[in-house]
Structure 1
Amino acid sequence: MTARPGGGGPASDATGRVLARATVAAVRALGGRAGGVYLRSGTEGLLRMAAVTGLPAALFRPWWRIQVNRPYPVAEAFRTGQAVHLPDGETAVRRFPQLMAGLPYPFGSLYEPVGAGAQRFGVLLVVRPATPGVPVGADDRGRMREAADGLARELAGLAAAGDPVRWDADPLGVPWPVPAGGAGEAVDRLPQGVLSVDRQGVVGFANAAAGELTGVPAARLEGRGLWESLPWLGHSAYEDHFRAAFLSGEPVFFDVRRGADVEHRALAVGLYAAPAGLTVTLEAAERPAGDGVASPAGRASAPYRPVALAIALTEAMTARQVSAVVTEELLPAFGGRQLAIYLLDERHLHLAWETGFPQGFLDRFDGVSLDVRLPGVETLTSGRPLFFESMQHLASAYPGIPLDADVGARAFLPLIASGRPVGSCILGFDAPRGFSQEERTVLTALAGLIAQALARARRYESEAALARGLQAALLPHRLPVTGRVATVGRYLPGSAGMDVGGDWYDVIETASGRLALVIGDVQGHGVAAAATMGQLRSAVRAFAIGGNTPAQVVQGTNRLLIDLDPGQFASCCYVLLDPASGRATAARAGHPQPLLRRADGRAEVLDLAGGVVLGVDPGATYPETELVLEPGAVLALYTDGLVEVPGADIDEGVERLRSALAQASPAPLTEAADRLVAETGGQADRPDDIALLLASRS
């Protein structure tokens, strides 16, 4: 499979050529059987497979997109900047069980981050035969590092020339460096069908028997993709066998039926891997398709499908995340193209997630009651899954039901957790197909896992709503308004999970007419962190109103936290400002340094003296620092959620914030706050919450 690099312009074409050269060179240097490159994409936190050689890209579609926070070796190499070396399957399954759940084959792999200076472009990977018990040697580690460094230099050159070095297209298929083997007249005389398939999945040779057994003339098979010519081999169960052969190098045997027509003869398929590709053999099977015994490498993947989904579901925290996992893991496993999830609420089913259906088609079924005769309802009320091998079968069973297509198959699965109905799940397929007893059993079991995950997510969302309500009640609803100083606060909960954090900000008017600007961050998430935050905020207000100095306020809060909750930590920055003169005194307890934008537009990171975080040492002291807030200047206090990005140094985030503050207009201050949050804290999967407090003096 080949694809034009994202964008299609000269710079993108140049990136594709660089990736192709680097991938082939790395595979040759490491004695590999395949390789590829993942690059950062235009979506924050998402890596995309940009180039691949030695493997048909279409077989590995579930791994085309990888989030940097996922437990995969590619993500870890990019996130940490450290190489990952997996000499065999045992090592891989110990370190990355979720990867091996989907690819349970014996192979070795190496992953090297690709970066130059502060830039991190992606990850170079090589797949090669496993070396059980023998770690990757220093020479191979060096060769891999050298290949990645060479690629990084070329990508850095492209970046300097204006190429953003991002990838937002399908993978670029790079021709395999070993030419595919040919076949002679002797093979044409065999009664067995023989196909020579290269590592991109293209048929280079087909003998006459292959044409007879498949029903496609040999001449039409040659030069085309195997699954393009023989789509019935593209069933997800058969894809697993091909993945096993390509990755493990071991022979794989299985039976298959040509298409959905039961009159078609079953074929026995053999896959024999070689450096140049696969030899595929075909002959009439003695048993019905599905009754044959696959080789260990091919058979191993079947039980891992539920395992892969189960592992991924344990990490899903919201109903939306559960639905996304089902889309990414379940649909590819069974060759499905459509998915809908309905959740039960007060005896009505409400559409919670859909993908692949025509826009608006499912709206008519949203909110249906449990007394309506529809397959999505009856599968839940009866507790039995319903399988329809064609749309005609579905229409016959439910006369008058609206259909979104003339052809296809449907599976309706009840979502029941611990005996309690949760909802129903619909799987859609583009073509008619049968469902074997094994598939029906697996799908039913997976529906139970999905139901449990959704039930857990709904409980979690309810608890999170309680925690957020608590936090909203504890944060200030409005800030004091004074004649000389304007203040604006912003709070955003984390978007990767549902737990709220312990970030807070406050502005306090003291008896002496000064303003106390406060920001803090309690360790942890959830109701406990929010409650601790509320206690600390109250303590700081009490100490501030009592006329204490910044050092005394922070010291008193530190001792109170140790008394309230030993083992709980928090950071804090406290600035006491005189609105008339602009003079301020600050104390800091393990908190990020504030930023100051001067009236002329220059922005800098302040260097405030500080002490340890609150809650560690009852005798800790906190030195004070003097500063001046000139008219037109803006002081920015923030928590680390605004500057931390997974896989990047926090100093890079602070520099982004400083640059954004320098470019932001100081008036109105509300727009400046919104711009800072949007430009530096707008990641789609932000693990931490954010607090920001701005103060400017006129």
Structure 2
Amino acid sequence: MTARPDSGSPATDALARVLARAAMAAEEAVGGYAGGVYLRSRTDGLLRLAALDGLPGRLFRPWWRMHVNRPYPVAEAFRSGQAVHLPDAESAMRHFPQLTAGLPFTFGSLYEPVAAGDERFGVLMVLRPATPGVAVRPADRERMRGIAARLAAELTAFTASGVPVVWDGDPFRPEPAVPLGGAEAAVDRLAQAVLSTDRQGRIRYANAAAAALPGAQGRPLLGEVLWEALPWLGHPAYEDHFRAVFMAPQPVYFVAREGHPPSGRWLSVGLHPGPDGVTVTLGSPASVSYASPQESASSADRSSALYRPVALAIALTEAMTARQVSAVVTEELLPAFGGRQLAIYLLDERHLHLAWETGFPRGFLDRFDGVGLDVRLPGVETLTSGRPLFFESMGHLAAAYPGIPLDTHVGARAFLPLIASGRPVGSCILGFDTPRSFSAEERTVLTALAGLIAQALERARRYDSEAALARGLQSALLPHRLPVSEHVVTVGRYLPGTVGMDVGGDWYDVTETGPDSLALVIGDVQGHGVAAAATMGQLRSAVRAFALGGNAPEQVVRGTNRLLIDLDPGQFASCCYAELDRTTGRVRAVRAGHPQPLLRHPDGRTEVLDLRGGVVLGVDPGASYPVTEFVLEPGALLALYTDGLVEQPGKDIDAGVERLRAALAAAPPVPLTETADRLAGGAGTSGHRPDDIALLLAWRTGAAG
């Protein structure tokens, strides 16, 4: 059956078919065996797999959702706007170790951003056989670019017709034009079960012995998905074997216990891949040189379980805050074990407080928020005892803890202690929709993963404390009030970055340097954190001291440059300094590696000023900084800003400057506070700002203002 998008509307169906055609065209063009298209979703920063061809969707569910900030090639291509080409496993491991940890197979892959101008729709992806040591050919790169460009044009047409090009459902999987059946009649005489599936796992042929397998119940299997027809083959311990055979051309052999839950005889399973599908053989394990079926099954379990902690560990190293750690656990841990609910409680002053939840009924967990360590609850006792607790059903949980409130789910529960280096951090609850058992391997892996999660949460706590210190330091160093001056109105704005949650070294200041003169300065110290904030404070004080000492603009910047080199060799900063005569409007400006300011004339015409500049501060002790003079007329507005306001990942900074220029031209200068809010808010509405933003506006009112 063809998988349809959730909405089922004609427009969405048409969009799905366009995406599927592009994926299949890209496969054919570059010799791939699978392809797909990721599209942006209605959730900010989240991509979803919208179309998939050549792979069974069930096996790759953990990769259906992809955040644009994750270290995966799909996210990198979307974020940067540049294609990503991985010819083999070595290149994938070198550049994207988390991808290799989750899919440790030999394959090549190509990722092409789908964009039209500034409009980024998603990413076109193709998987193909690896070419070890041989880079992707220019012809294949060009073919991918061409198909992505044609797809972008089609998606632009959808947008123009009012159809939103977003995706929030499961991936659309086209029905391949492969007839059912097609195997030799002689195979029916074999005692060994033989099945043939297409590249999406649908059974295209099954011999007579296959119909006798547990789960088949003698019914025709043609057209069914393998793991739905024979559910015991869908055990998590075997998923990596199936992923391997769909991702790489080598045969795979393992043993599996038939029945659901697995309880019958042991069978040897052979998976034989081809360009159009996979042949599956199931028979007695005696013909395969395993030491014993039980040993082989345990080996398969261990092999499958190995990549879960590896993938999660790599992802946790990049999580900086408790919320990011919890999001990683949701994205990596739940799919690996088939979980649907997650709750994380953190310990604070002998009470557990709910820090993260997903999948539970709304408000159900509120009653457990803030419970003390003396309360008899599994989430408390797993932490106080240091032992994980596993319940195969909610009935087992209720029997162990009579009277405990239960939610509407009937499935299994796992309660894991979060302990880092002997220090209690909290507890983690995993929920499952249906009852299930936990093998010894799964219990061991989940317990180990709980330790990794605890370490990451403890690190996040320290980071949050350091970040709070840096933000407090920065808040103390930035001006809380700008001077009120005759004939000139000034307004400043600062927005911290949200990616990584580190404070930066952006600053601005306004200083009265004489009866009629005003010094305007804006700067950006390299780096983030406490060190950058401290350096910013030192530079702000230095600029103010040099300005109040009666120095000319070029002397102020030269002196600050030498001071930075003496204070912190290797640190550098950009800066723009302007001295304004409030009476005449004459401006003498100096620029040190900083973005060009904007000037809005009284008639609304807005231009990017061309100030001559010198190198950034902190590099050359003998650097010179030329002065540029211009006049700020009555009614004119000068805008100084840092690059966080105009830079966007994967886009030319000139495009950002032009957007800011157009916004300033369209904004009335009065009241100036609203203008500042509008300009800063245009970039501040983005949920993912990689850098801080500082903005300083100066409006000359004139003698009558």
Asked if Structure 1 and Structure 2 have the same fold, meaning a TM-score greater than 0.5 normalized by the shorter chain, the answer is yes
Match of 2:587 in 1: 584
Q: 1:40 to 1:391 in 2, by over 3 A?
A: closer
Q: Contact 2:418/2:425 (CA < 8 Å) preserved in 1?
A: yes
* 1:472 CA displacement: 0.6
Q: Contact 1:240/1:298 (CA < 8 Å) preserved in 2?
A: no
Match of 1:131 in 2: 131
Deviations 1:282-309 (A, max 9, x none): 4577999993626999975431211111
Match of 2:646 in 1: 643
CA–CA separation in structure 1 for the residues paired with 2:86 and 2:117: 26
Q: 1:407 aligns with which of 400, 405, 410?
A: 410
Q: Contact 1:555/1:621 (CA < 8 Å) preserved in 2?
A: yes
Is 1:474 equivalent to 2:477 in the alignment? yes
Is 1:425 equivalent to 2:428 in the alignment? yes
Match of 1:65 in 2: 65
* 1:636 CA displacement: 1.8
Q: Contact 2:215/2:230 (CA < 8 Å) preserved in 1?
A: no
Q: 1:675 to 1:129 in 2, by over 3 A?
A: same
Is 1:653 equivalent to 2:656 in the alignment? yes
Deviations 1:656-693 (A, max 9, x none): 22232233332322222222222223322222111111
The within-5 A match list for 1:49-198 is 49-116=49-116, 119-155=119-155, 165-176=165-176, 182-183=182-183, 186-187=186-187, 190-198=190-198
Match of 2:548 in 1: 545
Paired residues in the alignment total 698
> What is the DSSP-based 3-state SS (H/G/I as helix, E as strand, rest coil) of the residue aligned with 2:344?
strand
Match of 2:275 in 1: 275
* 1:599 CA displacement: 3.3
Match of 2:539 in 1: 536
Name the amino acid aligned to 1:47.
L
Name the amino acid aligned to 2:552.
T
Q: 1:380 aligns with which of 380, 383, 390?
A: 383
* 1:134 CA displacement: 3.8
Match of 2:240 in 1: 240
Q: 2:308 aligns with which of 302, 305, 310?
A: 305
Q: Contact 1:342/1:349 (CA < 8 Å) preserved in 2?
A: yes
Q: 1:500 aligns with which of 479, 503, 513?
A: 503
Q: 1:664 aligns with which of 660, 664, 667?
A: 667
* 1:45 CA displacement: 4.3
CA–CA separation in structure 2 for the residues paired with 1:207 and 1:367: 59
Q: 1:261 to 1:245 in 2, by over 3 A?
A: closer
CA–CA separation in structure 2 for the residues paired with 1:353 and 1:591: 41
Deviates more, 1:414-423 or 1:122-131: 122-131
Is 1:349 equivalent to 2:352 in the alignment? yes
Gaps of 5+ in 2: none
CA–CA separation in structure 2 for the residues paired with 1:649 and 1:102: 33
Deviations 1:289-335 (A, max 9, x none): 99362699997543121111111111011111111111111111111
CA–CA separation in structure 2 for the residues paired with 1:163 and 1:662: 31
* 1:143 CA displacement: 3.6
Q: 1:171 to 1:510 in 2, by over 3 A?
A: same
Q: Contact 2:343/2:429 (CA < 8 Å) preserved in 1?
A: yes
Q: 1:335 aligns with which of 311, 334, 338?
A: 338
Q: Contact 1:213/1:282 (CA < 8 Å) preserved in 2?
A: no
TM, length-normalised to structure 1: 0.92
Deviates more, 1:179-188 or 1:98-107: 179-188
CA–CA separation in structure 1 for the residues paired with 2:474 and 2:256: 58
CA–CA separation in structure 1 for the residues paired with 2:146 and 2:181: 31
CA–CA separation in structure 1 for the residues paired with 2:125 and 2:87: 13
Q: Contact 2:489/2:700 (CA < 8 Å) preserved in 1?
A: yes
CA–CA separation in structure 1 for the residues paired with 2:219 and 2:673: 69
CA–CA separation in structure 2 for the residues paired with 1:256 and 1:543: 78
CA–CA separation in structure 2 for the residues paired with 1:229 and 1:659: 60
CA–CA separation in structure 1 for the residues paired with 2:268 and 2:436: 20
TM, length-normalised to structure 2: 0.91
CA–CA separation in structure 2 for the residues paired with 1:129 and 1:614: 50
CA–CA separation in structure 2 for the residues paired with 1:288 and 1:212: 27
> What is the DSSP-based 3-state SS (H/G/I as helix, E as strand, rest coil) of the residue aligned with 1:36?
strand
CA–CA separation in structure 2 for the residues paired with 1:482 and 1:233: 77
Deviations 1:260-295 (A, max 9, x none): 657556655443322222333445779999936269
Q: 1:462 to 1:180 in 2, by over 3 A?
A: farther
Q: Contact 2:353/2:370 (CA < 8 Å) preserved in 1?
A: yes
Q: Contact 1:255/1:292 (CA < 8 Å) preserved in 2?
A: no
Q: 1:635 to 1:53 in 2, by over 3 A?
A: same
Percent identity, aligned pairs only? 74
Q: Contact 1:111/1:126 (CA < 8 Å) preserved in 2?
A: yes
Name the amino acid aligned to 1:386.
L
CA–CA separation in structure 2 for the residues paired with 1:585 and 1:165: 49
Q: Contact 2:285/2:293 (CA < 8 Å) preserved in 1?
A: no
> What is the DSSP-based 3-state SS (H/G/I as helix, E as strand, rest coil) of the residue aligned with 1:573?
strand
CA–CA separation in structure 1 for the residues paired with 2:409 and 2:398: 10
CA–CA separation in structure 2 for the residues paired with 1:630 and 1:145: 49
Name the amino acid aligned to 1:310.
A
Deviates more, 1:64-73 or 1:253-262: 253-262
* 1:457 CA displacement: 0.7
Deviates more, 1:560-569 or 1:325-334: 560-569
> What is the DSSP-based 3-state SS (H/G/I as helix, E as strand, rest coil) of the residue aligned with 1:279?
strand
Match of 1:435 in 2: 438
* 1:431 CA displacement: 0.8
Name the amino acid aligned to 1:343.
L
Q: Contact 1:180/1:198 (CA < 8 Å) preserved in 2?
A: no
Deviations 1:205-257 (A, max 9, x none): 44554444233445474434444455554443333222112111333344445
Match of 1:485 in 2: 488
* 1:50 CA displacement: 2.7
Q: Contact 1:495/1:685 (CA < 8 Å) preserved in 2?
A: yes
Match of 1:201 in 2: 201
> What is the DSSP-based 3-state SS (H/G/I as helix, E as strand, rest coil) of the residue aligned with 2:427?
strand
* 1:543 CA displacement: 1.7
> What is the DSSP-based 3-state SS (H/G/I as helix, E as strand, rest coil) of the residue aligned with 1:586?
strand
Deviates more, 1:277-286 or 1:315-324: 277-286
Name the amino acid aligned to 1:344.
L
Match of 1:512 in 2: 515
Q: 1:556 to 1:133 in 2, by over 3 A?
A: closer
Q: 1:36 to 1:298 in 2, by over 3 A?
A: farther
Q: Contact 1:252/1:294 (CA < 8 Å) preserved in 2?
A: no
> What is the DSSP-based 3-state SS (H/G/I as helix, E as strand, rest coil) of the residue aligned with 1:618?
coil
Q: Contact 1:250/1:297 (CA < 8 Å) preserved in 2?
A: no
CA–CA separation in structure 2 for the residues paired with 1:261 and 1:7: 34
Name the amino acid aligned to 1:64.
W
CA–CA separation in structure 1 for the residues paired with 2:618 and 2:152: 44
* 1:532 CA displacement: 0.8
CA–CA separation in structure 2 for the residues paired with 1:261 and 1:45: 39
Match of 1:398 in 2: 401
Q: 1:360 aligns with which of 351, 354, 363?
A: 363
* 1:60 CA displacement: 1.8
Deviates more, 1:575-584 or 1:514-523: 575-584
Match of 1:214 in 2: 214
Deviates more, 1:378-387 or 1:128-137: 128-137
Q: 1:332 to 1:383 in 2, by over 3 A?
A: same
* 1:405 CA displacement: 3.0
* 1:451 CA displacement: 0.7
Deviations 1:546-603 (A, max 9, x none): 2322222211211211121121101111122233333322111111111223333333
Deviations 1:51-77 (A, max 9, x none): 221012332222223333432222333
CA–CA separation in structure 2 for the residues paired with 1:605 and 1:36: 42
